[in-house]
A and B are shown apart, each in its own frame.
Chain A
């Protein structure tokens, strides 16, 4: 459970970094974005392979990414993030909002990012699971297979990943 929360937090932070890199002076830094995408991939693998039931985490994902200089807990859930179950109703509304946000983000530079970092990133933004998402990740079966389990594209699990939409909507 802890791993899942930590992984979720790291995913949110990573998405934020990739988004911010679009507006940074000097253009997208390839090296940094590559490293961030590697962290994103590791965190996502841990998140998806953790056998806990899927969570509806309260609060905007971005707020836990507050960067204190050298401070903050190194691991474990951020303070105040006790998992809450959101009413089913909200999750119906979320996809609508998320879709709008995703469509907005799909244009322009994010499309470039997707083409650079490929399916492992675009899979996060594509709302409907399945499709070309998992089989294109040949590179994932490399050293990262050391992480628990190669993820199978399990449609029910993926459909429940509302925290992903939450992370995207926050940006």
Chain B
């Protein structure tokens, strides 16, 4: 699957729905593209369901805030699906300022045989109508239409970085740099502010909110991560404004690793609950960490994503790569975690066997049904034949967004403006 060249096609978010039947992508140009998995047919057993384009629509347009003289980007920051409750599909998509609820539904019949208008919709001359008939529904070519059902606007002064649907399916939250708001899906002109870390004096600002997510089962709990590398678990039953956390997760800093850039690389770019709800995973610039909700003083697991970049931080600061926000995902059983890196590499860590693998999403290496070959980065000394040296890595090819099917071993990897879908080998 490829896009046209040009910056508007850069994929900015990827998300499977709750069954894995649909896969949504959002891009920098404000478009959403939804893929649907083919139904597996008995005739072609060897062809596991492939994903084809199901619907494409323009979710957000660029806007201009006249009061502040600011342009508001149309880039889709996040997409989150609602669980399916009827024939239609619902998803939330957000840019920096506005969240929208979209309904995606199929139309495969249309009414024919109107009395007052003809088949092209033109009005008939009433004098020519001599009989009365009842319109009937006739099959038509399948049409998928997306309609915006709700627009949740004007609630965020700063840039929205996260949205998360609550397990009650009635509410969701949106988080920006300093505040988190709680919404009811039915109400667009009000939201409740549940976290506010804006200091009275902005000169005292020391940290911002970087990501937030609801607990998968407990509708009163959510977590949010900060630019200081900390995570807070909040309970909405405790008070209306959850500025006081129930739990505070922070790992003491390793003083031997201190540099000018220590603060930047400890900023958390993504936080995700495990499906079980028992763990949280965080991504900072160089590592992925798994935390047990019952242990606040340090993570239970730390995985090095690309530690060879530690000595290159100054260059990465110069070219802005150090500000890249990588996401991380769990597989369906919470046994494997995955995150992206540079050079179109992405990494998977098996939590049980402690084995890890580096794979590459590129056209040259990905013919259909080819098996991905593990990659290796050479960190010094002699470079073996298949290895890539750190200095040859292409930092413009970054994998920030990945998604894992909720129950099967199917992953979606966004490499700039290309989407790769990999499936487990069929035996």
Q: Residues of A at under 8 Å CB distance from B?
A: 6-7, 10, 13, 17, 25-27, 29-32, 34-35, 38-39, 42-43, 46, 65-75, 115-119, 139, 146
Give chain B residues whose Cβ lies under 8 Å from the Cβ of A119.
Answer: 203
Asked, given contacts A26-B72, A115-B202, whether A70 binds B260 with beta carbons under 8 Å apart, the answer is no
Which of B72, B264, B312 contacts A74, CB < 8 Å? Answer: B312
Asked, given contacts A26-B73, A35-B264, whether A65 binds B318 with beta carbons under 8 Å apart, the answer is yes
Give chain B residues whose Cβ lies under 8 Å from the Cβ of A31.
Answer: 159, 161, 177, 208, 210, 227, 267
Give chain B residues whose Cβ lies under 8 Å from the Cβ of A70.
Answer: 312, 315-316, 319, 321, 342, 390-391, 393-395
Asked, given contacts A26-B72, A70-B391, A71-B391, whether A39 binds B312 with beta carbons under 8 Å apart, the answer is no
Residue of A39, A43, A70, A115 most packed against chain B (CB within 10 A): A70
Q: Residues of B at under 8 Å CB distance from A?
A: 65, 68, 70-73, 75, 96, 158-159, 161, 177-178, 202-208, 210, 227, 255, 258, 260-261, 263-264, 267, 311-321, 323, 342, 390-391, 393-396
Give chain A residues whose Cβ lies under 8 Å from the Cβ of B159.
Answer: 26-27, 29-31
Cα distance A72–B426 in the bound complex, in angstroms? 45
Q: Do residues A116 and B202 form an inter-chain contact, with CB atoms below 8 A?
A: yes
Q: Tell me the smallest distance from the CB of A26 to a CB of chain B, in Å.
A: 4
Give chain A residues whose Cβ lies under 8 Å from the Cβ of B390.
Answer: 70
A-B complex: 6 closest residue pairs judged by Cβ atoms: A118-B203, A67-B319, A26-B73, A27-B70, A70-B395, A72-B315
Give chain B residues whose Cβ lies under 8 Å from the Cβ of A27.
Answer: 65, 68, 70-72, 96, 159
Give chain B residues whose Cβ lies under 8 Å from the Cβ of A29.
Answer: 159
Q: Do residues B319 and A25 form an inter-chain contact, with CB atoms below 8 A?
A: no
Name A's interface SS.
helix
Q: Tell me the smallest distance from the CB of A109 to a CB of chain B, in Å.
A: 9
Q: Do residues A39 and B318 form an inter-chain contact, with CB atoms below 8 A?
A: no
Q: Tell me the smallest distance from the CB of B400 to a CB of chain A, in Å.
A: 15
Give chain A residues whose Cβ lies under 8 Å from the Cβ of B264.
Answer: 35, 38-39
Asked, given contacts A34-B227, A35-B267, A68-B315, whether A116 binds B203 with beta carbons under 8 Å apart, the answer is yes
Which residue of the partner chain A has the closest CB to B392? A70
Q: Tell me the smallest distance from the CB of B360 to a CB of chain A, in Å.
A: 16
Q: Tell me the smallest distance from the CB of A140 to a CB of chain B, in Å.
A: 11
Q: Do residues A35 and B263 form an inter-chain contact, with CB atoms below 8 A?
A: yes
Cα distance A7–B317 in the bound complex, in angstroms? 13
Asked, given contacts A30-B177, A31-B177, A74-B315, whether A25 binds B73 with beta carbons under 8 Å apart, the answer is yes
Cα distance A7–B264 in the bound complex, in angstroms? 16
Give chain A residues whose Cβ lies under 8 Å from the Cβ of B267.
Answer: 31, 35
Give chain B residues whose Cβ lies under 8 Å from the Cβ of A10.
Answer: 260, 314, 317
Cα distance A54–B283 in the bound complex, in angstroms? 40
Q: Do residues B71 and A67 form an inter-chain contact, with CB atoms below 8 A?
A: no
Give chain A residues whose Cβ lies under 8 Å from the Cβ of B161.
Answer: 31
Which residue of the partner chain B has the closest CB to A16? B318
Give chain A residues whose Cβ lies under 8 Å from the Cβ of B96.
Answer: 26-27
A-B contact pairs, 27 of them (CB 8 A): A10-B314, A13-B317, A17-B320, A26-B72, A26-B73, A26-B159, A27-B70, A30-B205, A30-B208, A31-B177, A34-B205, A34-B207, A35-B323, A39-B261, A39-B263, A42-B263, A67-B315, A67-B319, A69-B319, A70-B316, A70-B321, A115-B203, A116-B203, A116-B205, A118-B203, A118-B204, A119-B203
Q: Tell me the smallest distance from the CB of A3 to a CB of chain B, in Å.
A: 10
Give chain B residues whose Cβ lies under 8 Å from the Cβ of A116.
Answer: 202-203, 205
Beyond the given A35-B264, A70-B391, could you list 6 further A-B residue pairs with CB under 8 A, ordered by the A residue number?
A30-B177, A31-B210, A34-B207, A35-B267, A69-B394, A71-B315
Cα distance A25–B208 in the bound complex, in angstroms? 20
Which residue of the partner chain B has the closest CB to A142? B206
Cα distance A6–B259 in the bound complex, in angstroms? 12
Give chain B residues whose Cβ lies under 8 Å from the Cβ of A7.
Answer: 260
Give chain A residues whose Cβ lies under 8 Å from the Cβ of B320.
Answer: 17, 67
Q: Tell me the smallest distance from the CB of A12 to a CB of chain B, in Å.
A: 10
Give chain B residues whose Cβ lies under 8 Å from the Cβ of A73.
Answer: 314-315
Q: Tell me the smallest distance from the CB of B387 to a CB of chain A, in Å.
A: 16
Give chain B residues whose Cβ lies under 8 Å from the Cβ of A69.
Answer: 319, 394-396
Q: Do residues B260 and A13 form an inter-chain contact, with CB atoms below 8 A?
A: no
Cα distance A46–B314 in the bound complex, in angstroms? 15
Give chain A residues whose Cβ lies under 8 Å from the Cβ of B73.
Answer: 25-26
Cα distance A17–B321 in the bound complex, in angstroms? 13
Cα distance A50–B207 in the bound complex, in angstroms? 28
Give chain B residues whose Cβ lies under 8 Å from the Cβ of A46.
Answer: 260
